[in-house]
Amino acid sequence: SFILEKTVSLLCTPDGDSEAEEELVWLRNGAVVRLNEENRKGRSSVCISPIIHEDNEAVFTCHLSRNATVSASVTLNVTYHPQLSEAEQVEVEIESMLVLSCDIWANPQVSSILWTLNGSAVDLSASGFTMSSDGFTSQLTANTVERSLHEGTYECTAHFPLHGTISKVFQVTVTEKTMKFPLFPIIAGVVVVCLTAILAVVSRWKKIAKVTYKQ
């Protein structure tokens, strides 16, 4: 298996003397790989640098230019796992929605995921939680947050066959509901205040001007 972000070089050397000067062709998932002139005869190599997620399960095939049935191929097995992440502080308003997400994208795939709240497994039935995983992230969701049920320290712990255990901690604080005003009345209000202030200054200035005139 190959490791993400490293470099791999694949070498193709047909056996048999007659094939020593044969022209070779490389394919990646059936598409021709462009090669330098001097890299086509007798022995040929392709270099993959850096290895990316998309290279996992990519099939590299090398065949004789004149006869594609004389070929060899390799399927890349790129192993990867989520990065360790720092603890996250989460603030959520009462009665709003809480969504916590953990990165679980790995090869080989995650074998188990556990969510805990204050050290005990999250009770999906009792506290309005739902859990979902799609191979990339695992999400814990509560639709209507209540402080007594949902505030505390969460942890998602994912176990990977090859990379061991990775976990992430969330410190969730439930805050009071804040009043949410629609945007338009605020803008209208500001305009009214500004206009009033400008009018006040203008009329004052008129008064002052009048006073000056009288003097």
* Dihedral (CA of 24, 29, 31, 33) sign: negative
Q: Are 197 and 183 in contact (CB under 8 A)?
A: no
Strand partners, 102: 138
With CB under 6 A as the contact rule, the residue among 117, 140, 142, 145 that binds ligand NAG is 117
Q: Are 117 and 170 in contact (CB under 8 A)?
A: no
CA gap 12, 141 in Å, rounded: 51
Q: Could you tell me where the DSSP H helices lie in the chain? A: 147-150, 183-214
Q: Is 77 in the site for ligand NAG (CB under 6 A)?
A: yes
Binding marks (x or -) toward ligand NAG, 39..68, rule CB under 6 A? ----------------------------x-
Residue 186 has phi, psi (to 5 degrees) of -65, -45
With CB under 6 A as the contact rule, the residue among 22, 55, 151, 155 that binds ligand NAG is 151
Our CB check for ligand NAG shows the closer of 26 and 80 to be: 80
Q: Is 171 in the site for ligand NAG (CB under 6 A)?
A: no
Residue 62 has phi, psi (to 5 degrees) of -120, 130
Q: Is 111 in the site for ligand NAG (CB under 6 A)?
A: no
Cα 214–chain centre separation:
74
Provide, rounded to whole angstroms, the least separation between the CB of residue 147 and ligand NAG: 7
What is the number of the residue whose Cβ is closest to ligand NAG? 152
Rg (CA), the chain: 33
Provide, rounded to whole angstroms, the least separation between the CB of residue 84 and ligand NAG: 20
Provide, rounded to whole angstroms, the least separation between the CB of residue 182 and ligand NAG: 33
Our CB check for ligand NAG shows the closer of 28 and 163 to be: 163
Can you give the binding site for ligand NAG, defined by CB under 6 A? 1, 67, 69-70, 77, 79, 108, 117-118, 149, 151-152, 162
